[in-house]
Amino acid sequence: MGQMVSDGAVQEQPAPKVGIIKNGREILLQAFNWESHKHNWWSNLDGRVADIAKSGFTAAWLPPPTQSLSQEGYLPQNLYSLDSCYGSLQQLNSLIQNMNDHNIRAMADVVINHRVGTTQGSNGMYNRYDGIPIPWDEHAVTSCSGGKGNKSTGNNFDGVPNIDHTQPFVRKDIIEWLIWLRETVGFQDFRFDFTKGYASKYVKEYIEESKPLFAVGEYWDSCEYSPTDNRLSYNQDKHRQRIINWIDSTGGLCAAFDFTTKGILQEAVKGELWRLRDPEEKPPGVMGWWPSRSVTFIENHDTGSTQGHWPFPSDHVMEGYAYILTHPGIPTVFYDHFYDWGDSFHGEIAKLMEIRKCQDIHSRSTVKILEASSNLYSAVIDDKLCMKIGEGSWCPSDSEWKLAASGNRYAVWHK
């Protein structure tokens, strides 16, 4: 598709009936980390539902619920067995019922790029699924990962059989399973794992057929770095364009995690806040081009937690939240920051969420960037809220602006 530089065209179209919530006033909680499977997780979350609701979250992304060869859930095998390291089916049912009672949507982590077999196939690999529901044979597995199916339509996930989504029987079974998760188990939203592994047109089909209220994909691509000093390049337009192309080829039905904003923001807060204004005076991530499909975040179970593949600087986390919770897009709060870092972080993040809701900042809100220098970034959002982050001192000159929240290197005002 051509370069996407505005959400205006999207605004003029009716919101799709599936995949994207119409009002854009979502705040998501990633309700787990990489170690959660060790802590009776469904019961733990059940005890936090009232606080999650009170804090203003509209949905909670849960870890993969299916039986898996890895304790974290990302090597699924029997898709219809919901007894996992996170807890029993009964505990999951109790949690989802409690979430429904508190008007919090449960988001399922959908891992359908790969599936571990139960039985060895003709080449000695475990790429048959005898003895469990959805008993596929080797024709359900891509030829690039040792199966008898077609070539993969995306990147290979090494070491396990990758699912061949070109096969009609495979898609039929996946759709039936997704509908079961929606209608029988009670998940309302989907997060699609490792979407670089299969063509986005299949994500579109799965959303159209299973009808989640909201869907988001993990399209994690590498940012652009300078070949000489390995510093993050200022211009990440190619990076965000790839994510936007992916969203577009789902028919706009699936949002995407804004890895561009994550990559830029975590460098910007280290005294390079000039990065937060692109040459068109817009935010430099997916948020700046297609905000209603941008799911912003500071950290997740891969980038942070005990994996730490691409961590946000821990002493700048509140600046990060002051940015994403005041700006357009659909912000996501990471469990660790909200529940494991102490009452102060919980309180400060909840306050920013409350301000976002009270000032009716939403996924399509407009941003006017006022300052973007090394140690200061300031902006006005919808002319209802203004904010600053960084070491530099700044406050709005007009007396009608009232301080609403402040902390280490951030402040927010509203009228």
Helix H or strand E segment including 263 = helix 259-268
b/e burial code for range 36-47 (CB count within 10 A of at least 16 → b) = bbeeebbebbbe
Q: Which two tokens stand for residue 323?
A: 């940015």
| Amino acid letter, 273 | L
């060869």: which residue's tokens?
69
Q: Torsion angle, CA of 70/208/293/384, rounded to 10 degrees?
A: -120
Rounded CA gap, 353 and 362, in Å?
Answer: 11
Say which amino acid occupies 282.
K
Amino acid making up residue 125: M
The neighbour count for residue 340, using CB atoms within 10 Å, is 12
Spatial strand order of the sheet with 385-389 comes to: 367-373, 376-381, 385-389, 410-414, 402-407
Which of these is catalytic: 46, 109, 218, 319? 218
* Separation of alpha carbons 201 and 181, rounded Å: 21
> Quick one: which of 357, 342, 355 has its CA closest to 386?
355
- For residue 336, the 8-state DSSP code is I
* Dihedral, 156, 159, 163, 166 alpha carbons, nearest 10: 40
Active site residue 193: yes
The two tokens of residue 17 are 């009936």
Contact 258, 297 (CB under 8 A): yes
Contact 135, 117 (CB under 8 A): no
Q: Which of 193, 258, 272, 278 is catalytic?
A: 193
Active site residues: 193, 218
